[in-house]
Amino acid sequence: MNWRIYSLEQIKSMSKYAMDDPTSFWRDKTEYITWFKKPESIVEGQAPYDKWFVRGTTNISYNAVDRHIPSRKDKVAFYWANERFETKTVSYLDLYNEVNKATYVLQELGVRKGDSVSLLFPSIPEAVFFSLAVHRLGAVLVIHYVGLSHETLAYRLNDCGSKVMVVASKGIRNGNEIRIKDFVDKLLDSHTTPVKSVLVVSRGYSDFEVKQNRDIVYEDVKPKGKVYVRPEEVESNEPGTIYYTSGTTGKPKGLFHSHAGYTIGLNWAFRALLNPQDNEVWWTVSELGWPVWPMANLYTIPVMGITGVLFEGFIGYKRDLFSRVIERFNVNYVWSSTTTLYTLKSLGEESVKSGDTSSLKIILNTGEPLNVGAWNWLTENMPHVKIGDAYWMTEHLIPIACTPYGLGEIPYKPGSAGIVFPGTYFTVVDDDGKPLPPKQKGYIVVKPLNPATAKMWNDPTYEKIKDKYWSRFPGYFYTGDYGYVDEDGYLFVLGRADDVIRSEGERIGTLEVESIIGTYPQVAETAVVGTTNSIVAFVVPKQGVNPDDVLRNEIKNYCRNSGYIVDKVIFLKRLPKTKSGKIMRRLLKSILANEDPGDVSTLDDIKIIEELKQSLSQT
Ligand code: ATP
Ligand code: MG
């Protein structure tokens, strides 16, 4: 296929073709992976009952590891760096050897095809080794966030039924030591879970307890010589990995993606988004528990045979880290959460100018709408870098809308997530599910027919998935998001439908006001919520800015000049965010109304609730 040659209109026709004839569209994408047995059909059934690449068998681990030996054996599969700038290099041959050893040990622990295995790791090479080992056995991978509460993790372990956990002894983040194994001990001592064995990757430490009959230290049992474990044959539609949604709008939902269909969907998506070449380097700035990390580091980078960067820690720990990592590894592509891009902005120019970033071609945003202020800042300070966007959700992991720079020169429109992605179709509808003309605001719905759409876990009759996503607007999958499409087909996500502000008969998406405030020079970050009859803006000023009444009034005036009446501006030191870095506006709203906040299990730092209550009592 020739790349970077399609016009906007051609990409739109490609999307139409993908929807009209998914079998022809997806047939050639089966070549992204090596099959043990070729699929008998490309797609059977309609969403949410659809099955892909039916009766084909393969193994992700084979595709990510074995098939690069010998051709790429000396090539770097991953660079690793932590926030102290210690580094390591893993070649494809190392990856092959380490994945086989990890698989051997998991097999000895009794892990078999179809079992689920839970991982708790910082971003280190061993997390890749064990993830691919789980897939090698045809088992189901569940990667959890480090730092969830005991209750939340216990619930998830029961929900996915893992008998085996693999954990790192410790990690570092923002200068702090994170004692992962101690956390697991407390969790398993205080909660009933299915976990029988905990395999601990010591990382050279020994200051943790080893519980008899439960814990095994990996380094003690790791084979000394070479081992080989044959990858299991897995049918395309068998579960590959379970994800829990971010919990931004409510209790997180457990979903699974298939073993092969999902991998093919992602390999298509990233060819279209970035089109990385064989000698290029791609860094995904994400914690492990968010789908973004495995999407890049398990299902795409090693499947394509290119080079990835793993970064352990917090990118805001030191101002120069971001650009130094790019310089050190000659990074060509950064895929980042929106919150990370806001962190760079709040750290100031030094964050993107300390190191030489001339190798960098694209920064791809995901997670939240990227506000115009941040986009301006990034393009001013890194004019050689294209900023791209991909709007997707755990349930739908090829983009719903994006800037497919890998396919053509797509103009970027600030504030927009981009255009339709070939393989899916979105539209905006009114309260009755009627499609709306361009520029009119409404609910974003999708007609997904692609192999990267998740099914719900523990939902054999599809009742839960139909109820949750397919019932609100019959015939459509409902994203829960609010927005509009412009005349050129660009989608503008304006926020969550739950957060829409009703003001004097108008409906306003949170991003509309946040985008204005975000361009105010003294503002680092902002979140806007609507109460019964007012708009309240929570504002985090840039470092060194005095949050006084003068600034408060200036922000209000600034909004008024753009047509929005903000009734109250409340200054905060930080915003409440989920583990994946998304602003939890419903928490701000509930604290304002003095109501129960509901499920806050994925809140990044639970202490923020008290902090918010205090800030609010002072206003
Ligand atoms: P929950 O479903 O548990 O409330 P969540 O929706 O935040 O949490 P995710 O699946 O991680 O869980 O996030 C998907 C959502 O993130 C989308 O529905 C959308 O609101 C937002 N999103 C993701 N990427 C983008 C983007 N590039 N632009 C705008 N919004 C985005
Ligand atoms: Mg969601």
Report the Cα–Cα distance between both ends of the chain, in Å, rounded. 59
Q: What is the pLDDT of residue 542?
A: 87
Atom 31 (ligand 1) nearest CA:
368
Chain segment 327-356, per-residue pLDDT in tens: 999 999 999 999 999 999 989 999 999 999
User: Residue 76: which H helix or E strand, with range?
Assistant: strand 76-82
Q: What is the DSSP letter of 354?
A: S
pLDDT of residue 505 exceeding 90, the answer is no
Which residue in 265, 249, 255, 240 sits closest to 399, CA to CA? 265
Ligand 1 within 6 A of CB of 477: no
Ligand 1 within 6 A of CB of 390: yes
Ligand 1 within 6 A of CB of 480: yes
Ligand 1 within 6 A of CB of 169: no
Q: What is the pLDDT of residue 4?
A: 58
Q: Using alpha carbons only, how large is the chain's radius of gyration in Å?
A: 24
Topology (CATH) of 6-482: Rossmann fold (3.40.50)
Return the ligand number nearest the Cα of 394.
1
Q: And the tokens for 283? A: 């860094």
The full DSSP string for 441-458 is -EEEEE---STTB-EETT
* Amino acid, res. 193: T
Tell whether omega for the bond before 474 is within 30 degrees of 0, i.e. cis. Answer: no
145, 152, 241, 245, best to mutate for ligand 1 pocket (most atoms within 8 Å of CB): 245
Q: What is the pLDDT of residue 543?
A: 83
Share above pLDDT 90 across residues of the chain, in percent, rounded to a whole number: 94
Average pLDDT value for the chain: 96
Provide the pLDDT confidence category of residue 616 given band limits of 50, 70 and 90.
Answer: confident
143, 242, 248, best to mutate for ligand 1 pocket (most atoms within 8 Å of CB): 248
pLDDT of residue 3 exceeding 60, the answer is no
Q: Please give the Cα distance from 591 to 601 (Å, whole number).
A: 16
Closest atom of ligand 1 to 401 CA is 27
Q: Please give the Cα distance from 543 to 465 (Å, whole number).
A: 44
Q: Please give the Cα distance from 148 to 522 (Å, whole number).
A: 33
Q: What is the pLDDT of residue 533?
A: 79
Q: What is the pLDDT of residue 416?
A: 96
pLDDT of residue 444 exceeding 50, the answer is yes
Select 499-616's CATH number: 3.40.1160.10, 3.30.300.30, 3.40.640.10, 3.40.1800.10: 3.30.300.30
pLDDT of residue 378 exceeding 80, the answer is yes
pLDDT of residue 1 exceeding 80, the answer is no
Which residue in 115, 120, 121 sits closest to 135, CA to CA? 115
Q: Please give the Cα distance from 185 to 199 (Å, whole number).
A: 12
Length of the chain: 619
Q: Please give the Cα distance from 231 to 62 (Å, whole number).
A: 6
Q: Please give the Cα distance from 445 to 429 (Å, whole number).
A: 7
Cβ–Cβ under 8 Å, residues 496 and 478: no
What does the longest C-alpha to C-alpha distance in the chain come to?
72
**Residues designated as active site:** 498
d(CA 75, ligand 1 centre) in Å: 35
Query: Is 499-616 the same fold as 6-482?
Result: no
Residues 542-569 have a mean pLDDT of 95
Q: And the tokens for 44? A: 């059977």
pLDDT of residue 137 exceeding 70, the answer is yes
Q: What is the pLDDT of residue 532?
A: 83
Ligand 1 within 6 A of CB of 582: yes
Residues 133-144 have a mean pLDDT of 98
pLDDT of residue 293 exceeding 70, the answer is yes
Provide the pLDDT confidence category of residue 433 given band limits of 50, 70 and 90.
Answer: very high
Chain segment 167-221, per-residue pLDDT in tens: 999 999 999 999 999 999 999 999 999 999 999 999 999 999 999 999 999 999 9
Ligand 1 within 6 A of CB of 601: no
Q: What is the pLDDT of residue 2?
A: 47
Q: Please give the Cα distance from 196 to 188 (Å, whole number).
A: 10
- Per the DSSP assignment, residues forming a β-bridge with 484 are 492
Atom 3 (ligand 1) nearest CA:
247
Q: What is the pLDDT of residue 415?
A: 93
Chain segment 67-83, per-residue pLDDT in tens: 999 999 999 999 999 99
User: Residue 141: which H helix or E strand, with range?
Assistant: strand 140-144
φ, ψ (nearest 5 deg) of residue 263:
-60, -40
Q: What are the structural domain ranges in the chain?
A: 6-482, 499-616
| Pick from 304-308, 362-366, 544-548: least confident | 544-548
pLDDT of residue 364 exceeding 70, the answer is yes
Q: Please give the Cα distance from 106 to 110 (Å, whole number).
A: 7
Q: Judge residue 91's burial from the number of C-beta atoms within 10 Å of its C-beta, 0-12 exposed, 13-18 middle, 19 or more buried.
A: middle
Specify the pairing of strand 234-235 against strand 491-496.
Answer: unpaired
User: Residue 526: which H helix or E strand, with range?
Assistant: strand 523-531
